[in-house]
Amino acid sequence: MVVLFDTNIVLDILEKRLPFYHSSKSVFERCVSGDITGYVAVHSISNIFYILRKQYSIADRRKLLLDLLDLLQVAGADHESVRNALQRTDFSDFEDCLQDECAKQVHADYIVTRNTDDFTASDVPAVIPNDLLAIIDGQN
């Protein structure tokens, strides 16, 4: 199974945001166990680097993200995908549309997010962490 992690899920882990931390961490652990192959969108990396600037030094942010990339692969969007995202009017948030385009690039089965309502127009189904865990457990 291939999943793309939305920025909010990665931040839940890195910032240990409660009450979301434990379920998000459980999904990440499935990457370690090999149950899933995880991706993060390239633009999420720059967003996370920026968001964490008040809590961590540049060196610490680099280390956190390098450690993250030991676990997750980076999904990019090519020229045509970005053009598609800009032309899509079915998303109210361009960043979410880019998440969908990146997920399609890597043939993701799911986008893992806490904001599934933001992905109602997504070509790749969006699920919350606990629902993904139930799907994985149902397949095993």
pLDDT at 139: 74
Residue 132 structure tokens:
């993904």
Whether the predicted pLDDT of 119 surpasses 80: yes
CATH of 2-139, one of 3.20.20.70, 3.40.190.10, 3.90.940.20, 3.40.50.1010: 3.40.50.1010
The model's confidence at residue 140, banded by pLDDT at 50, 70 and 90, is low
Mean pLDDT on 86-114: 95
The whole model's pTM is what? 0.94
pLDDT at 138: 86
pLDDT at 75: 97
Whether the predicted pLDDT of 98 surpasses 90: yes
Report helix, strand or coil for 2.
strand
Using CB atoms within 10 Å of the CB of residue 108, give its burial: 0 to 12 exposed, 13 to 18 middle, 19+ buried: buried
Taking every pair of Cα atoms in the chain, the longest distance, rounded to a whole number of angstroms, is 41
Cα–Cα distance, 10 to 68 (Å, whole number) = 9
Q: What angle do CA 41, 56, 32 make, to 5 degrees?
A: 45
- DSSP assignment letter at 120: T
